[in-house]
Chains A and B, each alone.
Chain A
Amino acid sequence: MSTTLPVAQRDAATTSPEPGKTSKATRKGAGRIDPTYYWMIVPVLALFAFFITLPALVGVFFSLTNYAGYGDWKFVGLSNYVNIFKDPAVLQSYVFTFGFAVAATVAVNVVALSIALGLNARIKWRTGIRTVFFIPMVLSGLIVSFVFSYLFSNTLPALAERFGVTPLASSMLADEKWAWLAIVVVTVWQAAPGATIIYLAGLQSVPSEVYEAAGMDGAGTWRQFRSLTLPLIMGYLVINIILGFKGFLGTYEIIVGLTGGGPGMATQSVAMKIFSGFTGGDYAYQMANAVIYFVITLVISVIQLRLIQRRGVSL
């Protein structure tokens, strides 16, 4: 309402006196919160509640039944939850997902920080090179993983055979022990640019004077990185680790494109297991799985938020 005020005031002479009243009321209530903010929040809140919160609650409800997604159902109490803990396939997916998330977080941050340091230095064609490094970010994960699936299945074995590297001659994707590594590699390729941007921002916030001073005191490059750069960008590191870890816990599309959860059951992530409930007539059971996973991620998020607050960073 108040956004239309200037126009209304201009036309006040010809139109009804109401706009004038409104403007007075607004001026009087200067200490009150502008209703515009509510107009910005309420529709989003309503949409969120209707499309996210409500379905989630429906899902929680059905996790207590034996509903297949359609047809008849009855209450089964907590037996779905009990069965989840007795299901080695589900437990294996948890072990895989957490192992993968840790490995991917470490790898992404090491790679992204190295790239950011390189891109922040005074190198030739810096802008052009930066652009190249950010291309993976705009590509869809599914497409990236289909391309890499081809590379891992055909190109890499062919090259390995040519140069006599026998361990790589059969596809990594077909090896139950090493398929996860291929997934980490592709994840790093796709996720590193996002983390690099955050690190670049951090590096640019470090004033150059501190390096000049350190240089005068005779600190070498490594010493400068360890004692100056790293502490000064610690907030950015924490943000990257937290956002990355949370994202990798929900990993789905890259695995679907690369291995489809195989070979065997080696690379089934929790998200894939949950989704299988929609196609498998296992809706209620996987809903229970989803509720458990939600609680676990919630706990992890709370712990991480605490850590952030201690560091004095706010998200």
Chain B
Amino acid sequence: MNALLSRRSLFKVAGVAGAAAVLPLTGCGSRAGVGTDGVTTLRFMQNKPEVVAYFNQVIKDFEARNPDVRVVQDYNEGNFVPSLVRNDPPDVMTRGFAKETADFVHKGIFADLTGLPAASAIDPKAQELVNSWGRYGQDETSAVPFSLAAAGVIYNRDIFAAHNVAVPETWDEFVAACGTFKAAGIAPIYGTHKDSWTLRQGAFDYVTGGTLDVAGFFSRIYAKGAKISQDAPESFTNNFGPALPQILQLAAFAQPGAETKNYADGNAAFAKGQAAMYLQGPWALSPIIQANKDIKLGTFPLPATNNPADTKVRVNVDMVLSIARHTPRREAAERFLSYLLTPEVVNSYNQKHAAFSPLKAAPAVVDPQISGVAAHMAEGRYYQGAGTYFPPSVPMNNYIQSLVYSKDSGRFLADVDAEWRRVAERTAI
């Protein structure tokens, strides 16, 4: 009897699973996804597992106002590419925007959001950060920004005050500040070189972004395709070469033994006041505060030249919103996306998570942890990190780590130029 029961329930499970598998196939009509009770179920993929609670609340509020729509949150971004392979992407999604997402845009994965009324509230400068990567069909809007992160130098205000150091506005002042801390026996910068990505996002992106026209460089080298060589005017050697000594100088301000420390070590050590500065973005703020809630932090953009007017901040398009191009639930998806773009949702999210709102009418940022970069953000004095422009098949983090350890600039430039050409040849980027 028992066996019979379990067998019957097994059939039931199999039946449900089978129906679930068949549903997306048959469900191409306009009424697809609408349950028998008239409720449309949207799948919402969200790229930040640490803010699940926030979006659960947003979804609850949205569902209260739209009883005919149910939203299911999926915060496992690893499901995204498999969902494309299955031809069943989530209806609405958030993603970080850089090379990888831009590739999806070029493949026509996302719906065109041009003319969506809610999108008109977005600051064109912020929208341009997305559009500059190339648009599908020349003029489509495949993604709208939701949250911008401004990465600079996180500093310990107490240590700065104790040694009478003001926030440096030129490279020379920065070097002098590092000298002051060193003389006082304090590590100027906490280095976490074991995690190679921290070198890329910190020393590499800050110096190249502050001294070069990164976006221009990459649009030229991408245009050149596989015809690139080391002595071409578009090559890394001829553009990044002059920045390398400064990158090495910056990396050398780290505490001794930085090669053995990773990002988690860095957050813990910086929270304990073991260094004056930390080359990290706002995502490091909350782990640091968690380790020491009394620490007073601030952020300033790294001055990479001696002209304060040149100083820019590294911006990360942390979250963009998109709709799947072929979703049969387009209307409900647009309603949900528009709700996400309302000032209450966007602004309160960004305020809560030490990020910047991309809306035209964003309230002034008063959070002392990031207010040091607010003016730069408001004036559009920012760049996207050079590291974000590389196709993922170029192991840039490893090359940068190698450069910092071996200090061999010649080899680094030759390697990166050669690797770029090989990838361009085989993928025709």
- Which A residues are within 8 Å of any B CB, using their own CB? 66, 68-72, 76, 79-80, 83, 86-89, 152-154, 157, 170-171, 173-174, 176, 260-265, 268, 276-277, 279-282, 285
User: Given contacts A87-B422, A153-B261, A154-B260, are A265 and B393 in contact (CB under 8 A)?
Assistant: no
Residues in chain A near residue B406, CB distance under 8 A: 176, 264
Would you give the shortest CB distance from A271 to chain B, in whole angstroms? 15
Q: Report B-chain residues with C-beta under 8 Å of the C-beta of A268.
A: 398
Q: Is the pair B398, A170 in contact by a Cβ cutoff of 8 Å?
A: no
A264 and B402 form a contact (CB under 8 A): yes
A89 touches B419 (CB 8 A): yes
Is B399 in contact with chain A by the CB < 8 A criterion? yes
- Shortest beta-carbon distance, B55 to chain A, in Å? 25
CB nearest to B256 among chain A residues: A170
A126 shortest CB reach to chain B, Å: 39
Ranked nearest first, the 7 interchain pairs of A and B with the lowest CB-CB distance are: A264-B402, A174-B259, A153-B260, A171-B260, A280-B393, A282-B393, A280-B392
Which residues does chain A contribute within 8 Å of B428, judged by CB atoms? 66
Given A70-B84, A264-B398: A173 in contact with B107 (beta carbons within 8 A): no
Q: Are B422 and A264 in contact (CB under 8 A)?
A: no
In the complex, what residue of chain A is closest to B83 when comparing beta carbons?
A70
B402 x A176 contact (CB < 8 A): yes
| Cα distance A263–B103 in the bound complex, in angstroms | 29
The verdict on A71 contacting B399 (CB below 8 Å), with A66-B426, A170-B259 known, is no
B193 in the interface, Cβ–Cβ < 8 Å? yes
A157 to B418, CA, bound (A): 36
B402 and A70 form a contact (CB under 8 A): no
Complex contact A265–B395 (CB within 8 A): yes
Listed residue (B401, B426, B428) with the most chain A CB atoms within 10 angstroms of its CB: B426
In whole angstroms, what is the CA distance A87 to B196 when docked? 22
- Among A69, A265, A268, A281, the most chain B Cβ lie within 10 Å of the Cβ of A281
* A88 nearest in chain B by CB position: B418
Which residue on B lies nearest to A72, using beta carbons?
B107
CA distance A281 to B418 in the complex (A): 19
- Given A281-B103, A281-B392, CB of A157 within 8 Å of CB of B257: yes
Task: State which of A68, A170, A171, A263 has its C-beta within 8 Å of the C-beta of B427.
Answer: A68
Tell me the smallest distance from the CB of B397 to a CB of chain A, in Å.
Answer: 8
Docked pose: A88 CA to B416 CA in angstroms: 12
Q: Contact: B427 with A265, CB < 8 Å?
A: no
A262 to B196, CA, bound (A): 8
Using Cβ atoms and an 8 Å threshold, which residues of chain B touch A152? 260
Set A173, A260, A265, A276: member contacting B260, Cβ < 8 A: A173
In the complex, how many angstroms separate the beta carbon of A156 from the nearest chain B beta carbon?
9
Chain B, interface SS category: helix
Q: Pick the residue among A70, A171, A265 that contacts B81 (CB under 8 A).
A: A70
Docked-complex contact A83 and B391, CB < 8 angstroms: no
Residue of B81, B196, B395 near A276 (CB, 8 A) is: B395
Report yes or no: A86 in contact with B85, Cβ–Cβ below 8 A: no
A66 x B401 contact (CB < 8 A): no
Q: Is B325 an interface residue (CB 8 A)?
A: no
In the assembled complex, B405 has its CB within 8 A of some CB on chain A: yes
Question: Shortest Cβ distance from A184 into chain B, in angstroms?
Answer: 19
Residues of A within 8 A of B422 (CB): 83, 86-87
List of B residues within 8 angstroms of A76 by Cβ: 426
Cα of A80 to Cα of B393 in the assembled complex, Å: 14
Contacts of A280 in B (CB 8 A): 391-393
CB neighbours (8 Å) of A154 from chain B are: 260
The answer to whether A71 and B194 touch across the interface, beta carbons within 8 angstroms, is no
Q: Which of B194, B392, B399, B425 contacts A153 (CB 8 A)?
A: B194
In the complex the two chains form, is A279's CB within 8 Å of B196's CB?
Answer: no
Contact A276 B398 (CB under 8 A): no
Scan B309-330; emit 1 where CB is below 8 A from any A CB, else 0.
0000000000000000000000
Q: How far is the CB of B10 from chain A (nearest CB, A)?
A: 17
Bound: A31/B261 CA distance, A: 69
Tell me if B393 and A262 are in contact (CB < 8 A). Answer: no
Complex contacts, B419 vs chain A, CB 8 Å: 89
Complex interface bits, B394-421 against A, C-beta within 8 A gives 1, otherwise 0: 0100110110011000000000001100
Interface string of B218-259 (1 = CB under 8 A from A): 000000000000000000000000000000000000000101
Are A174 and B391 in contact, with the CB atoms below 8 A? no
- Can you spell out 28 A-B residue pairs with CB atoms less than 8 angstroms apart? A66-B428, A70-B84, A70-B107, A71-B107, A83-B422, A86-B422, A152-B260, A153-B262, A170-B259, A171-B194, A171-B259, A173-B259, A174-B193, A174-B260, A174-B405, A261-B398, A262-B402, A263-B196, A263-B401, A265-B395, A265-B398, A268-B398, A277-B393, A279-B392, A281-B103, A282-B392, A282-B393, A285-B427
Q: Which residue of chain B is the closest to A265 with respect to CB atoms?
A: B398
Q: How long is the Cα–Cα vector from A88 to B417 in the complex, in angstroms? A: 13
Per the bound structure, the CA–CA distance linking A263 and B261 in Å amounts to 13
- List B residues 11-43 near A (Cβ within 8 Å): none
State the Cβ distance, B85 to closest chain A Cβ, in Å. 6
Which residues of chain B have C-beta atoms less than 8 A from A262's C-beta? 196, 398, 401-402
- Contacts A71-B84, A265-B399, A281-B392 aside, 17 further interface pairs with beta carbons under 8 A come to A69-B85, A89-B395, A152-B260, A157-B257, A157-B260, A170-B259, A174-B260, A176-B405, A263-B196, A264-B399, A264-B405, A265-B395, A265-B402, A279-B392, A280-B393, A285-B426, A285-B427
CA distance in complex: A167, B413 (Å): 30
Inter-chain CA distance A285–B391, complex, in Å, is 14
Residues in B with CB closer than 8 Å to A83 are 422, 425-426
**Residue numbers in A under 8 Å from B395 (CB-CB):** 89, 261, 265, 276
* Chain B proximity of A277: nearest CB distance (Å): 8
Interface centre among B100, B260, B427 (most CB of A within 10 A): B260
